Chains A and B, each alone.
Chain A
Amino acid sequence: MTPLLELQNVSVSIGSAQLLDGVSLRLERGQTLGLVGESGSGKSLTAMAAMGLLPLIGGHVSAGSVSFDGQDLASLTDPQRRALRGRRIGFVTQNPMTALDPVQRIGAQIDVVSRLHLGLTKSAARARTLDLLTQLRIPEAHAVAEAWPHQLSGGMKQRIVIAMALAGDPELIIADEPTTALDVTVQAQIIQILAALVREKGVALLLITHDMGVVAQICDRVAVLYAGRLAEEGAVAPIFAAPQHPYTKALITCIQQEGMARGTLRGIPGAVPSARQYPTGCRFHPRCIKATAECAAHTPPLVAKGDGQAACLHLPEPAL
């Protein structure tokens, strides 16, 4: 079966800087793929490539291909791509505070999506909007539809942004750090809503996050990006049980857990390099506890591991 979203060896450049280098991803219907990495690792850029939005930031796919439901995005015209976004691909932004138009009522902002993409009449669009709001467990949907964005709390606004993403009845939802701007108790609610959408509607979810806890909670597969390259990719259970790449392991162990003694939390030394100063060889080697001279000299290839893949010169030997 063709995957719904497939990135094959995608490289992305802005000007002379190559920011993504040969990233490959597959996402099937009804599946949740987590895309993780620190700030500056290329997560959002991957999402923009998947939506064909790179020209907005002056970037382009310099190698490889992005296909949605078997269609190469590069072969589509601008209007065709525009018809895809909103209709078949819904997008949930990081900051719900800036994603809504402050001078338009909530209902109208959601209505416009289904009027534009599904060709619904004004009244049918509003009925659909109210239905969506109810599905997202928003109390008093009628009142909320008449409200202005500033009257709603952050968690409520994020639900509105999710309702907008759903209004075109998409097959794929791309959520870029959908809970980062929210309080912890509200974050748990939004993560639950997204998980329910995948389960009940069978949409595919590409979830960008820096939180390995969220990945463990709702993702089927996870792709770990570092400095524009894929470090590791695979099913969630084996990766958390036995991370192959030292970077994956470091991302998991830098979250404090219940009962952890003070002084035992391990961070990752240093910071993600900028695209103009990528180190030679494995880009993670200056921060890696396992690094050897070899790591600085050779770029590790992606090697198949179980049903996933990892790129490290010091991959653990499979257990016998």
Chain B
Amino acid sequence: MTAPMLQIEALTKRFQTGGGFLKRPRAMLAVRDVSLTIAKGEVVGVVGESGCGKSTLARLVLRLLEPSSGRVIMDGTDLTHLAPKALRAARKRMAMVFQDPYSSLDPRFSVADVLTEPFTVQRRPLPPGQIAEMLTAVGLPTHMASSHPHQLSGGQRQRVGIARALALRPEFVVLDEPTASLDVSIQAQIIDLLAGLRDEMGLTYLFISHDLGLVRYFCDRIVVMYLGAVVEILPTADAKPRHPYTRALIDSGFAPDPTRRRAIAPLSGEIPSPFDLPPGCAFAGRCPHATDHCRTERPVLDATTHPTACFHPL
């Protein structure tokens, strides 16, 4: 077994909002006790709907947010307790591709500026020919170095975002919904590019998405989150889901095949507010299999090769 690239241990993030004169602040757990180990070269997917904590998790892992408790250990180094200077040095080895290529590129920067910035931040000289090389690696023509973001299409912008993330040759990359704001037709290009770059550069990915179909297509292992907690970890992309929520996510997609129409939406209701979670299983209110046991006690991940947090796994 290869050494883990990343170990996440009991990571928790608590957010507090509101509060004021005569008003008590309210707290919610955006990420609750998440533990995960990612091996070198692995692609791990994190999937869930809005508010499940997947983007918070991504930011905690890179320490763009400070966790309330828990640790993130990258290749033996505990990131959570690094001093700013050491953290900056460690950040060379990790990078992030953002969801929205429209707002993650400075409109006044040329593509060359965007790709030079990581070197400036790390106070490293820009190797000659580096920009052309990076553009070629992400499938863009080298003359685009002088272009500005508004001259590029969404897909091209996201390629620039990927080139920027890979500029310092990181080992670990967090992909936060890299295709969510692109057309489906462009999505496959970006996924192909990411898969190719992983093979060439030996990258390890944490791939955040709301699209379970896409995650199952691209990832080796899949973490399913619901309201801040992990409800299931699928050991392989084609593993049969054991948690009713994962099943419902799969059944919510529509196959592009009119002979396979469905009559019923798999779930009624919506995700409850994270500020007043029910005492038991957070999914119990929407779950077709829920019993009184589910409503009073919170299930935890079982210690199997296919961890699932459910009293009545499928």
Contacts and interface: CB of A to CB of B under 8 A. Distances in A.
Interface of A: 38-39, 137, 153-156, 183-189, 191-192, 210-218, 236-237, 240, 250-252, 254-260, 262-263, 265-269, 271-272
Interface in B200-218: 210-214, 216-218
B170 interface: no
Contacts of B264: 192
Given A185-B49, A191-B254, A217 B265 contact: no
B217 A192 contact: no
Given A267-B186, A268-B186, A183 B217 contact: no
Interface stretch (B29-37, B89-97, B255-263, B301-309): B255-263
B153 interface: yes
Contact of B254 (A154, A189, A214): A214
Interface of B: 49-50, 153-156, 183-192, 195, 210-214, 216-218, 237-238, 248-262, 264-268, 270-271
Contact of A259 (B238, B253, B258): B238
Contact of A184 (B237, B249, B259): B249
Given A184-B249, A263-B192, A217 B184 contact: no
21 contacts: A38-B183, A183-B271, A184-B253, A185-B248, A185-B252, A185-B267, A187-B252, A191-B254, A192-B264, A211-B184, A213-B253, A213-B255, A216-B254, A216-B256, A251-B184, A254-B188, A259-B238, A265-B192, A267-B187, A267-B192, A268-B188
Given A183-B50, A267-B185, A272-B153, 19 more contacts: A154-B50, A155-B270, A156-B270, A185-B267, A186-B270, A216-B258, A217-B258, A218-B261, A240-B257, A254-B184, A254-B187, A255-B213, A256-B216, A262-B217, A265-B191, A267-B191, A268-B188, A269-B189, A271-B155
Report, nearest first, the 3 A-B pairs whose CB atoms are least far apart.
Answer: A267-B188, A213-B254, A271-B153
A267 B237 CA distance: 21
B265 A39 contact: no
A155 B269 CA distance: 9
A224 B251 CA distance: 26
B258 A236 contact: yes
Contact of A256 (B217, B254, B267, B268): B217
A126 B218 CA distance: 50
A188 B265 contact: yes
A279 to B, nearest CB: 15
Main secondary structure of the interface of B (DSSP, over half): helix
Nearest to B273: A153
A252 B47 CA distance: 23
Contact of A271 (B50, B186, B216, B270): B186
A252 to B, nearest CB: 5
A191 B154 CA distance: 27
Nearest to B139: A269
A216 B260 CA distance: 8
A252 B256 contact: yes
Contact of B188 (A218, A240, A266): A266
Contacts of B271: 153, 183
A264 B203 CA distance: 21
A153 B270 CA distance: 8
B185 A188 contact: no
A213 B211 CA distance: 13
Contact of A210 (B183, B248, B258, B262): B183
A213 B256 contact: yes
Most chain B beta-carbon contacts within 10 A, residue among A156, A185, A250? A185
Contact of B185 (A218, A250, A256): A250
